[in-house]
Structure 1
Amino acid sequence: MDTLPDLLKEAALKLHHSKPPPPEDFTTDSLQTELFKEQKYAKLAASQKGKKPRQRSTRADLIDNQQKDQALDTKELPSDYVKAFKTVITSEYKPSSKGLDSLTPITVNDLLVGIIHRNNYIVLRTITDPVRKTGIKTIVEDHEGLADTLTLFNVNYDLDDQAFLPINSYVLIRAPYYTLGVYGYYGVRCDHPSDIIMLHHEHNLVKQFSWPALPENMDTVLTCEVLKDQGNTLFSEKKHQWACTKYTTALQQNESLKEQNLDMWVALHSNRAVCRLKIFQYEGAISDCEEVLKCLPKNKKAMFLKARAFYFLRRFDKSARACEDLIAEYPDLDEANNLLDECLDRLRESSRGDYDFRSMEDKARSEDVARLDHADYIGPVQILQCRDPAKGRGLFATRDIRQGELLLCEKAFVVTTDTPKRYYLTFNTVRKEVFSGPRAQLPCQLIRFIYDNPSTANSIMQLDSGGRGKRSSNIRYTPEGQPIIDAFTVSNIVGNNLLELEGVPLGLEEKEEPKEKEKDDQRETWGGACGVWVMTSHMNHSCLENVGRTFIGDFVIVRATKGIKKGDELFQSYADVTKPLKDRQYIFKKMGFMCKCAMCRYQTYMSTKENQEREKAVKNFTKFQDASTKKIAKMSPDLAPQVRKHIDIIFHTYSNPAFCTELLRPYGVLSTLQFTSNHLKGCANSLCRIVELVAGCDPLADEEFEPKLWLSEYVYYFLYLCIVFDLLEDKKNYENCWKKAKMILGILSGVGYESARIEEAIRCFRHSMRLY
């Protein structure tokens, strides 16, 4: 049997810098195998629960290992190497809500393995610089001089670790959790940001103990003037986290500075507000500005920074009022007038849904994931309790909605992308889940943002957390005023509500061939982006969705795919509806529900024999297509009869033809062969037939095209029909299909009917003319 040290050593060796594995290695099976190993490590570590560490590392060994990690972290690596960051969650414990007055201090020697010391806190001092591994890891000591490891999780990867947890700083951990990590070291682990309190060296909780002597070069000997100058220098070097730390230290070490030197006190608060805007601590910036304005109500800098902070928090009405107050005192201040104009633009967008989608689309195309500066628009929808209690809440129409109407235009609450040269993995042995890439990064980013800006947390905490805790519209605070953020609840909210960013349908825009350097950059980026959109997350699932969703930059655009009556619920699909029923049901089961839409019911009641015959027919067509790849590529006309034969076989497996998605690919091949053979009428018939079988309505009917089953592929079929009817000089059907293609394209691209670039789409589609 493997021993604990052997398994931990094996785990530790895997997390050093390494070449990225080939994409084919990132499979569900490979990640599940790794998860089983982590569960094995967790069980072995749990065997020591409630005991003292078997063998505590010496102070010298801890520091030596930390320095090795730092050297490895700063080492210049070959261009094809990456840094791997793996987080393992073995316990989803709750954050502490007790006040410090009700907790008892303990030392490192009191800590027991695997125990969350609920009735205690521990004050520690860092004795090394931190290094980012599974979290921010550093070596600490208590007031008795006993050293150990401290790892802080859910600290944003964008922050400067050394500025967040500098050497010789004091940190209090509420309800410390002492663990045995996968790297083989014991240490204090902290997952919840509200369980961490950074302390100044003059704080009473620090001074209650006698600490070992400090190095002489600490900031304690520096004056406020020196700290302010250091902060200004760091800010000019764009080291905003470090600069913020300097200003904070200067304010903390002299509580009477306001009375002694008001100008210095104002400068420190104002400068810190600027830094906080840079590191997304908007509410902290507002607090700094309000402190200044209590003493100097007409301070120009504080008034402007406060308006800017409200803008970044997307409170455009408050930002506009702050600008108006500022302009009343300083009418010629260009920055204030410009910001007010921006606020008024945002307010117009949010009230009318008045967007320039074409310019938004153009900007989004110029960046990988553009962070667009626009307001949210919430259309004729509202959140209500569903009739079925099991579904919770959903989005419902407040009036009749027409096809193509804009329902939501919503900016991501948080969005993240894959990072070149870094790869992230999170293994949760409690829930038996594994996440990788942006999905593993997103919870950390969200947790830190709502902790720093707690007034934004309410909308997030009302989302579905997969059964962990009740939804709450009011965030709680510790007696010391810290917002209580349950990191694991937020992580589960992300898992249940994230969306992967998707682009405009492929093939509808012309793209230049990437240059060699751009190709290299693309190889270094392993996958897309994902985010959380709060209002959109309230939409429940149905395979027969009645809205279409797309992304422009970090905005999600939701439009009605058909007419929706007042009081009807809005549905989006959580799975690819062209997948077989059993594949969809597997996804739904993992999400904790079963779909009861008409399509799922229809496919559920199909006989086993009917399903088996269809699966066999589809497999035979796939084998035929694979065997005929070269002929199909050359558009050999003699293949058409064989494809038609496969279509007939698949079609006759339906006892009651409906939702015939299995025929999409065969009809796509057939229509392409017919087009290249100049059988235009046959091509048009094939295109109309497949749309009718899948959508359940006639594509050439005069009324609006409102399919029972919504597919993005419809735009290709109607573009194809436009080209075919143009060649056939059938003006009536051409105009009919042109209008429907434009409506579908407007929904899919998000820009709407009026702005849809249909002529460009038809022109680009002519380059391929293939539907398989």
Structure 2
Amino acid sequence: MSKAFEYHQTSTEMVDFLRNLEDTRRAVAQEQTAVPEDPPPSDTFQSASSQNPLFTLYSPFQLFTPVDQLVETAEYIREKRIAMGKLVQTGHRDMKQTYAGKKHSSLCDIRKLNRIGLGDMSCRKVHVGSYLLCRIVSRPSRIVGVTFVIQDPAGLAETLAFYNAPIGMTPTGPDLDILFPLGSILAVREPYYKLSSAGAASIRVDSPTGLIWVDEGNALVRGVSWKKAPFWPEEIWREKPKKTAEQLKTTGNQLLSAGRLLAAEHTYSQGLALDPNHLALRLNRAAVRIRLKQFRSALVDTDHVLTYHSTSIPEPLLEKALFRSATAQYALGQYSLANATYGSLLSQFPQSQEARNGIAAIATRLVEMKSGYYDWIELYKSSQTNPAVDVAEYAGPVKVGLSPGRGRGLFLTEDVKAGQLLILSKPFAAVYKTDLGPDQSLFSCNLHTNTIDIATQSYLTQPVLAHIKDDPSAYKAFSCLYAGPEFPLPPVFSALEVVQPRTQPSMQPVDIDISHVEAAISFNSFSPRRISPALEWNPDYGSLSPLSDTSPTGLYILPSVINHECLGNCSLTFWGNAMCIRPRAGLKKGQELTISYASRIDLDKRTAILKKHRIRCTCRLCQEDLRDSAMMQERRLGLVARMENLTKNEPNVKSLKLARGMMQELIETYSKDSNPFLRIDLWIPFHILADQLSYFARSLMYSPSMNQPSGGRHPANSPDYYANESIHFEKMALESCGVVLSPTPPVIRSTPLAREDPCVDSALHIAALYNFMNMRLEARWWVDGAVLMHSVNVGGGRKLFKLRFKSKIEACDVGSYLD
């Protein structure tokens, strides 16, 4: 990302990009202040030219480019985008740029707006109180937004750029042509007419609800006459014979077979506009909507068939209608309704295996939702291949309340035990690397958080908007998210409202404030990196690997209410895209739950991450870190890096001596009165030193004549000495992460506050060393301690532990202690 940023800083595209951001800010600022009545056009441009030299490029009579030239340019851009799409398939990078920040969204009912023409509009202005009626006169192209040429009834033409259309990753080409067909009539609510630094004018629409598709019979076009220009290219604009509903069904089926889902859904919708009672079209559209995860819209289609045609529907179509209805209900978490629908399907079609499978799955989901009991082994296995795991959501003894000085928070309604499942939450929306297509190059400047967003976070807006479009009532849940200081603090809400969906939500469309949507995503997105097989610790990654440009990003409603502490009292794990929250220790009724927003351990990087969330953390870890000077902290990080370099080669006498010396220097970087249980940076060096000593212990066992470290402190040919010293430093590694130890079982009295999996690794290493010295009782204690730490932070008991740590258990030769 840094290289891309450096490139854009020096490119003219970046200069244009940032100037366009300023254009948007100015226009939105105009919207929020009193705007004087516009002077006549000539005075407007005379006044503007004295303020901005860009306006001198145009006289009042040259502002609007002829429509044929605009269409020709649009066709050229379209061809270039199609060619670029082919290059991307061969590995070529297509660097795109966008931003999240203050943008205009019209929230006014169009019936309260007055029609305006292009000739009445002013550049760099949001036309509050007006709407623009126009139609599409060119084929569309897409970089980030969708652009095409529009023409108003007077015959004036301009380019329109439509951002945040909920059309997924649809590129320039035939599918985009189907979604934005020539001749379509549009109404742009309170249009923003912008002028770029290069002098190019366009209408910019940022909200997906800012553009309204208008049918020919709509009152907005009643009595409107259109000036048809004679110079439209014949190959682009030609009258085509209208297809019948049956023909559109055939075309839709072909598109569906080819996997072109959005185009198929649009084509089926065109057919239903001609014949709303066409059963096959209804059911086919329901099928494609299910594949598009538009489950609420799919239910609209199946309910229409089952309600209005229940007595006349042929049996094959009835079976499809019942199955698709139950499938959509199940996906929405409406398990009781889905159970009834599957029951109806089974009673009328006893041979239906799908109905039997559905009823069995629902029984499992109801147990999960009510009790929080899950088959963790099956969930773990399925999450390794598909992030969209099939589980029900669960909310345990928690409630949303007010946290002093921190807004809202999540609190316990009863006492809970360490490791008890409190929440299992599925995402409102999520984006994974596989969703991005072959080219993931996107430069996204986030003005809400003053950061550069990774690609999956930028594209998360797409599935969020698609979810709201499909289920407008979901906007209420989305509106519960904190959206930063520029928006009002959302109210306290019930946890069950989020986990248990409404059975009959409103399908009334909602107006979307795109700035609010982007801000909520900016402040609440998580990276759902699934738990995976725990491999041997790799010093190149530390305990937590940093986010990469292609890390997944997800939005979770209830967990987003949980406030931050660097050493939160709850652990967070992802099973595919399902997030689990568990307490690290027993907690009392009324206690507030906290998690860490920052995966990095060192203070500077933690502070930088938290700055995005406007958090100035004063938790005990931050207070401990602030005891040490910046110079000491920098020295500490440098020493840790040097210790990591020792792992690149096989241990030897020299490396062990260096490791001992650096370990002492590292300890001296902490103030004498600092808490030894909060020295989390020391886990890596302690573990490395323990590994070095373990190497010498094993080597001496099998090669007694090997060269040993010098010094009278080390008895010759004593593997047990090095093993015990290795155990000593591994225990110090555990204590540095907050683990409280005991010489008798249970040897682990509290679980780690950070570096959970690495601490399990340390415990297994200790067990292996005791086993090496034939101290089998102690080895069993430490295997049990490793299982305990894993069960509290992750869950799943011994079975899951054996599955995740299989390779480590085999390497340590401690499998017999798990039987």
Partner of 1:538: 561
1:763 and 2:809 correspond: yes
Could you state the TM-score of these two structures normalised by the residue count of structure 2?
Answer: 0.79
What is the DSSP-based 3-state SS (H/G/I as helix, E as strand, rest coil) of the residue aligned with 2:727? helix
* Aligned partner of residue 473 in structure 2, secondary structure: helix
Letter paired with 2:73: N
Structure 2 counterpart of 1:115: 125
Counterpart for residue 379 of structure 1: 396
CA drift at 1:457? 2.4
The one-letter amino acid of 1:39's match is L
Q: Please report the RMSD computed on the Cα atoms of aligned residues, expressed in angstroms.
A: 3.4
For residues 255-277 of structure 1, what are the alpha-carbon distances to aligned partners after superposition, in whole Å with 9 as ceiling and x for unaligned?
Answer: xx56xxxxx53333333322322
Residue 13 of structure 1 aligns with which residue? Answer: none
Of residues 765, 778, 799, the one that matches 1:733 is 778
Q: Which of 184, 189, 196 is the matching residue for 2:204?
A: 189
Label 1:636 to 1:117 Cα distance change in 2 as closer, same or farther (>3 A).
Answer: same
Question: For the residues of structure 1 that align with 2:768 and 2:455, how far apart are their CA atoms?
Answer: 41
Aligned-pair CA distance for 1:684: 0.5
Looking at structure 2, the residues matched to 761 and 568 of structure 1 have their Cα atoms a distance apart, in angstroms, of 38
Query: In the alignment, which of 256, 272, 278 is matched to residue 285 of structure 2?
Result: 272
Matched-pair contact (CA < 8 Å) for 1:403–1:563: yes
CA distance in 1, matches of 2:363, 2:600: 41
Amino acid at match of 1:760: K
2:278 aligns to what SS in structure 1? Answer: helix
What is the CA–CA distance in structure 2 between the aligned matches of 1:351 and 1:747, rounded to whole Å? 21
1:401 aligns with 2:412: no
Name the structure 2 match of 1:496.
Answer: 523
Cα 1:208–1:427, aligned 2, differ >3 Å: closer, same or farther? Answer: farther
Tell me the amino acid that sits aligned with residue 352 of structure 1: S
**By how many angstroms is 1:708 displaced?**
6.7
User: Which runs of structure 2 are paired with 1:211-230 in the superposition (5 Å)?
Assistant: 211-213=226-228, 221-230=242-251
* SS at 2:441 equivalent: strand
Give the match for residue 296 of structure 2.
283
Q: What whole-Å deviation, never above 9, does each CA across 1:490-525 have from its counterpart, x for those lacking one?
A: 1111111111132436752899xxxxxxxxxxxxx9
Offset of 1:135 from its aligned partner? 0.6
Q: What are the equivalent positions in structure 2 for 1:42-441 lying under 5 Å apart?
A: 42-43=21-22, 54=58, 55-75=63-83, 76-77=86-87, 79-88=90-99, 91-96=102-107, 98-155=108-165, 156-159=167-170, 160-181=175-196, 185-213=200-228, 221-253=242-274, 265-297=278-310, 299=313, 300=318, 301-366=320-385, 370-386=387-403, 388=404, 390-418=405-433, 419=436, 420-428=438-446, 432-441=450-459
How far has the Cα of 1:44 moved from its partner?
A: 6.9
Per-residue Cα deviation, 1:215-268 (whole angstroms, up to 9, x for no partner): 896567333333333333333333332333233223334xxx56xxxxx53333
1:685 offset after TM fit, Å?
0.8
Greater shift in the superposed pair: 740-749 or 133-142: 740-749
Contact between 2:64 and 2:157, CA under 8 Å: does it hold in 1?
A: no
On the 8 A contact 2:131/2:187 being kept in 1, the answer is yes
Aligned counterparts, 1:556-571, within 5 A? 556-571=579-594
Structure 1 distance, partners of 2:77, 2:123, is 24
Partner in structure 2 of residue 706 of structure 1: 750
Instruction: Point out where structure 2 has 5 or more consecutive residues left out of the alignment.
Output: 31-37, 39-43, 46-54, 499-505, 539-547, 698-721, 814-819
TM-aligned CA deviation for residue 374 of structure 1: 1.7
How much does 1:106 deviate? 1.4
Q: Contact 2:377 / 2:799 at 8 angstroms: preserved in 1?
A: no
Q: Give the 3 Å change call, closer, same or farther, for CA 751–244 of structure 1 in structure 2.
A: same
Conserved 8 A contact 2:295-2:331: yes
- Partners in 1 of 2:615 and 2:574 — Cα distance? 26
| Superposed CA offset, 1:60-96 (max 9, x none) | 2221221122212222317230233322457422432
- 1:480 shift after superposition: 11
What does residue 484 of structure 1 align with?
511
Structure 1 stretch 457-466 or stretch 555-564: which is displaced more? 555-564
Check the 8 A contact 1:543/1:577 in 2, yes or no.
no
The 1-side partners of 2:287 and 2:634 are apart by: 65
Deviates more, 1:374-383 or 1:219-228: 219-228
- Asked whether the 8 Å contact 1:384–1:393 carries over to 2, the reply is yes
Distance 1:649 1:428 in 2: 41
Mean CA deviation greater in 177-186 or 719-728: 177-186
Matched residues in 2 for 1:58 and 1:528: separation?
A: 45
**Change beyond 3 A, Cα 1:342–1:208:** farther
TM-fit CA distance, 1:452: 2.0
Preserved CA contact (<8 Å) 2:113 2:130: yes
Asked if 1 retains the 8 angstrom alpha-carbon contact of 2:449 and 2:613, the reply is no
Could you say which residue in structure 2 is the equivalent of 1:6?
none
CA distance in 2, matches of 1:545, 1:398: 18
Cα distance in structure 1, aligned partners of 2:732 and 2:507: 68
CA-CA distance at 1:421 after TM superposition? 1.9
Residues 494, 430 of structure 1: alpha-carbon distance in 2 compared, 3 angstrom cutoff? closer
Which residue number corresponds to residue 718 of structure 1?
A: 763
Please say if 1:644 is aligned against 2:657: no
Match of 2:623 in 1: 601
- CA gap of 1:413–1:73, structure 2 versus 1, over 3 A, is same
CA contact (8 A) 1:273 1:289 kept: yes
Q: After superposition, give the CA deviation of every residue in 1:623-655 in whole Å (9 maximum; x if it has no partner).
A: 7548x748x622013333443233233324422
Partners of 2:10 and 2:744 in 1: CA distance: 53
Q: How does the TM-score come out when normalised to structure 1? A: 0.83
Tell me the secondary structure at the aligned position of residue 342 of structure 1: helix
Identity, % of aligned positions: 21
Structure 1 residues 358 and 94: alpha-carbon distance in aligned structure 2, compared to 1, 3 A threshold: same
Quote the Cα distance in structure 2 between the aligned partners of 1:543 and 1:434. Answer: 23
Q: Aligned equivalents of 1:86 and 1:743: distance in 2?
A: 47
Change in 2 beyond 3 A, CA 1:481/1:395 = closer
Structure 1 gaps, min length 5: 1-22, 259-263, 512-524, 768-772
User: 1:465 deviation in Å?
Assistant: 0.8
> What corresponds to 1:17 in structure 2?
none
Select the residue among 657, 672, 678 that pairs with 2:674: 657
* Structure 1 residues 432-471: aligned runs within 5 Å: 432-470=450-488, 471=490
The DSSP-based 3-state class of the residue aligned with 1:148 is strand
1:404–1:559 Cα contact (<8 Å) kept = yes
Change (3 A) 1:427 1:708: closer
In the alignment, the residues of structure 2 paired with residue 620 and residue 509 of structure 1 have an alpha-carbon distance, to the nearest angstrom, of 24
What is the identity, as a one-letter code, of the residue corresponding to 1:25? K
CA shift digits 1:269-304 (9 cap, x unpaired): 333322322333322222223333332235524333
CA distance in 2 between partners of 1:543 and 1:454 (Å): 36
| 8 Å CA contact retained: 2:568, 2:595 | yes
Give 2:502's aligned residue.
none
Q: 1:182 to 1:532 in 2, by over 3 A?
A: farther
